[in-house]
Structure 1
């Protein structure tokens, strides 16, 4: 039951309602984030970075995550628009936990402070360019594939 329009609602009742409405979203983000972070951690164990070298694992994790986000965003808005928890779980959670621009920043700082300034600057420039390019390319390819699928 809701209060009549314009009627005052007790703040505690408003908080309860908001929490009940948002709890599934928070849980979806948390579960997805845990899965994405575990996948990134596994990638860093399988392909550890060389000290002073280009951090290829984190570079490719970020580029791959951004590519998947580009395709996923198109699919989530055009194919699965009514799925309330899909974007929080997969987009914010899984892909947000998988990609890591904080580690990207730490890698640059470590490279620069240990005398590998050129490599640090290469990471600084290459990662956002490749990540943005991956989002754009994946979204474009996905849009074209959907258009071709609908026109045939």
Structure 2
């Protein structure tokens, strides 16, 4: 199935917004040489926001907005590639334990964030209640 040009544009525009937001966050609070706390926080908060996306009636009603906000903004905001690069740098510095803790901690925290949002969020109303 080929996505519509409208959805592709929505994801692209949202991705640009998310990528700029991620870049700005790392410029304001740069990751240090150890545990990359800013990138970690970006990935955990982005995972939580992605899990909460369906709580927004706009995203539930509009495939275009869902695409722009989900894979677009939040996909551009979160970054597994930066996590991998930080882990590679830690490994190159001989800090294998910290690299493992960083990658494992990032994955665990993101999964925990998604689970908590799913459990704390109220039950979604039926479509006809929107």
| Match of residue 72, structure 1, among 47, 53, 57 | 53
**Distance in 1, Cα, partners of 2:112 & 2:11:** 26
Provide the C-alpha distance between the structure 2 equivalents of 1:139 and 1:36, rounded to a whole number of angstroms.
23
Q: Which moved more, 1:92-101 or 1:108-117?
A: 108-117
For residues 89-100 of structure 1, what are the structure 2 equivalents within 5 Å?
Answer: 89-100=68-79
Q: Aligned partners of 1:84 and 1:66: how far apart in 2?
A: 19
CA distance in 2: counterparts of 1:122 and 1:84, whole angstroms: 37
Q: Which runs of 5+ in 1 are unaligned?
A: 1-17, 148-152
Calculate the TM-score normalised by the size of structure 2. Answer: 0.87
- Kindly state the Cα deviation for residue 143 of structure 1 after the two structures are TM-superposed: 2.6
Point out where structure 2 has 5 or more consecutive residues left out of the alignment: 126-130
Superposed CA RMSD: 1.7
Alpha-carbon distance between aligned partners in 2 of 1:26 and 1:136, rounded to the nearest angstrom? 29
The structural deviation recorded for 1:27 is 0.5
* Residue 47 (structure 1) aligned to one of 9, 29, 52: 29
Structure 1 equivalent of residue 14 of structure 2: 32
1:132 paired with 2:108, answer no
Give the superposition deviation at 1:98: 0.2
Displacement of 1:115: 1.4
**Higher Cα Rg, which structure:** 1
TM-score (norm 1): 0.75
Question: In structure 2, how many angstroms separate the alpha carbons of the residues matched to 1:56 and 1:22?
Answer: 37
